[in-house]
Structure 1
Amino acid sequence: MRVELVANVASGSVGRDGPERAEAILAEHGVEANVHAPGGGELEPCLSEALSRKPDVLFVLAGDGTARAAAEMAGPDGPMVAPLPGGTMNMLPRALYGERAWPEALKACLTHGEERMISGGEVAGRLFFVAAILGSPALWAEAREAARSGRADLAIMRAQRALRRAFSSRLRYVLDGRPKAKAEALTLMCPLVSTALDADERALEAAALDPTNALDIFRLGVKTVTGAWRDDPSVSVGRCRVGRAWAGGRIPAILDGEPVRLDDHVSIRFRPKAFRALALKDDAP
């Protein structure tokens, strides 16, 4: 079995000794692997090089952005990808491995792993495998990233900008040929995580969020905590295979936890075969 492992030691919960610990766990299970610990700015070239070796599986121990990039680069015809939880939010790792820390997730993959084709979504040519948020609420993620990097001044500035944009720049969209609509934000969830979709559903769950004031936002926030957000009057839920969205300027977005800026007009589509994951069997402890 040919195994490559790429670890970002500067990410979230990996730790400086992460590569050595991962290599030891692999060795305990009789697996020899090429373990890489690239420096800043070298992650994507390292992923590309690891994939070029045509391994049976690529383990990625890093944050959400690197996990998403690795799955996108591998695609449905590439090797299996196992995104271990090495970041802060760990959206894709949690969807695949639950709340396991990365050493336990790695061990479970080695003892109870199986191949699974994962579907996903595509916005403006960029893939996501958990969820995407389009619209002004995504600006809060930019404030979060600034705070995480220790830039309190930049975090405050971005939070103020997010407040100014709230309720002032609505998103227009069309999904599956239905009539044009508008909302404050459009959320797209993949079958991997949506509780409203079966795992083999060939569509995204699309939820349009259109609160009109602070009270609506508070009520929606409470219902999100309780899991009843779909029943809120400011939310419209449906399915989406293809669509498009547009706004008066560049669209802020979050793809699998990572903030991005998109053009003012974007296409949306469901990808039934996005990448091959090393997931866990149902009887995994």
Structure 2
Amino acid sequence: MRRIDVIANIASGSVGPDAPAVAERLLAEHGVSGVVHAPATGELTDCLRAVIDGAPDAVLVLAGDGTARAAAEMAGPDGPLIAPLPGGTMNMLPRALYGERDWQAAMRACLEGGEARMISGGEVGGRLFFVAAILGSPALWATAREAAREGRIDIALARARRAFRNAFSGRLRFTLDGRPKMKAEALTLMCPLVSTALDAEERALEAAALDPSSALDVFRLGFNAARGQWREDPSVAVGRCRVGKVWARGRIPAIFDGEPARLDPEASIRFRPKAFRALVPPDETSS
């Protein structure tokens, strides 16, 4: 690779103010020509767009989950390679690609012999995701989490109360791959990148409808999930999905790769076999 750009959001999760200098040192140690950008928070999206439009060979993104997802979406299957390094709180996409490596170890592994890997994904209502999406009232808890993470405890408590009131009150309607319509409290969609029920090359999403009807059902589901047996829980229906549709009485709360969002009352679902090209270490290309 002739040129690599690095974007570091020093205000994000586990990045820190010394990250740009460390990234520059790693580039120099590996003899790679590159530029390290450290945009202010309000300039992050514009910087990301400008860097990707500049068509470097690869863009290494050291930031949170939302920025990682945005970089992959902007690049698409024909843009530069994207390496979403773990710099946030949840690091869903980085963990899926690089395991438990910290950002420096992941960057070294990519620079020492990184290879291209086409990553599939999903799309709901025009929003892309590459790990998992959660649709329905359980996604409301994400907004409370975000407020708590920002230190806005009063807002976090208000959102938590709202999420509790809305639990079991806004069931989704959906249809997947032309099958009969169903109702559920929540619908989760998992990409082949992380689903243990799908082969890595399978051209579909794993869809799981969660429909607990009581506090006892929620407790049992949580217990089974802790044992890794949530798919066998009687309140869960699992299947495959390439295309579908979901609708509700109002706007649909959602989480895409760890980031909260709101969808229109009706949204389409589809599998994207070629979403973006990731830069991964050689030992990850066959996983």
Give the TM-score taking structure 1 as reference length.
0.98
User: Which amino acid letter does the alignment assign opposite residue 176 of structure 1?
Assistant: D
Q: Is the 8 A contact 2:246 2:268 kept in 1?
A: yes
User: In the alignment, is residue 182 of structure 1 matched against residue 183 of structure 2?
Assistant: yes
Q: Percent identity?
A: 73
CA displacement, residues 146-202 of structure 1 (integer Å, 9 cap, x when unaligned): 000000000000000000000011000000000000000000000000000000000
User: Which amino acid letter does the alignment assign opposite residue 179 of structure 2?
Assistant: R
Q: Is the 8 A contact 2:97 2:284 kept in 1?
A: no
Deviates more, 1:26-35 or 1:77-86: 26-35
User: In the alignment, is residue 258 of structure 1 matched against residue 267 of structure 2?
Assistant: no
Q: Give the whole-Å Cα distance in 2 for the aligned partners of 1:227 and 1:213.
A: 21
Q: Give the whole-Å Cα distance in 1 for the aligned partners of 2:168 and 2:284.
A: 47
User: Which amino acid letter does the alignment assign opposite residue 193 of structure 1?
Assistant: V
Deviates more, 1:183-192 or 1:109-118: 109-118
User: Which amino acid letter does the alignment assign opposite residue 161 of structure 1?
Assistant: R
Deviates more, 1:58-67 or 1:213-222: 213-222
Match of residue 110 from structure 1: 111
Deviates more, 1:28-37 or 1:202-211: 28-37
Q: Give the whole-Å Cα distance in 1 for the aligned partners of 2:82 and 2:142.
A: 26
Match of residue 123 from structure 2: 122
Sort the Cα spacing of 1:283 and 1:144 in 2 relative to 1 into closer, same or farther, 3 A.
Answer: closer
Deviates more, 1:176-185 or 1:30-39: 30-39
Match of residue 231 from structure 1: 232
Match of residue 269 from structure 2: 268
Give the TM-score taking structure 2 as reference length.
0.98
Match of residue 145 from structure 1: 146
Identify unmatched segments of 5+ residues in structure 1: none
Q: Give the whole-Å Cα distance in 2 for the aligned partners of 1:219 and 1:26.
A: 49
Match of residue 198 from structure 1: 199
Q: Is the 8 A contact 2:118 2:276 kept in 1?
A: yes
Q: Give the whole-Å Cα distance in 2 for the aligned partners of 1:24 and 1:175.
A: 49
Secondary structure of 1:41's aligned partner: helix
Q: How does 1:1-285 map to 2 (within 5 A)?
A: 1-282=2-283
Secondary structure of 1:248's aligned partner: coil
Q: Give the whole-Å Cα distance in 2 for the aligned partners of 1:160 and 1:101.
A: 35
CA shift for structure 1 position 283: 7.5
Q: Give the whole-Å Cα distance in 2 for the aligned partners of 1:131 and 1:9.
A: 26
Q: Give the whole-Å Cα distance in 2 for the aligned partners of 1:249 and 1:41.
A: 31
Q: Is the 8 A contact 2:98 2:284 kept in 1?
A: no
CA displacement, residues 69-97 of structure 1 (integer Å, 9 cap, x when unaligned): 00000000001000000000000000000
Q: Give the whole-Å Cα distance in 2 for the aligned partners of 1:77 and 1:161.
A: 42
Sort the Cα spacing of 1:184 and 1:280 in 2 relative to 1 into closer, same or farther, 3 A.
Answer: same
Q: Give the whole-Å Cα distance in 2 for the aligned partners of 1:122 and 1:167.
A: 25
**4+ runs deviating over 4 angstroms:** none
CA shift for structure 1 position 33: 1.1
Aligned residues: 284
Q: Give the whole-Å Cα distance in 2 for the aligned partners of 1:129 and 1:272.
A: 11
Q: Give the whole-Å Cα distance in 2 for the aligned partners of 1:100 and 1:222.
A: 29
Q: Give the whole-Å Cα distance in 2 for the aligned partners of 1:203 and 1:83.
A: 23
CA shift for structure 1 position 112: 3.4
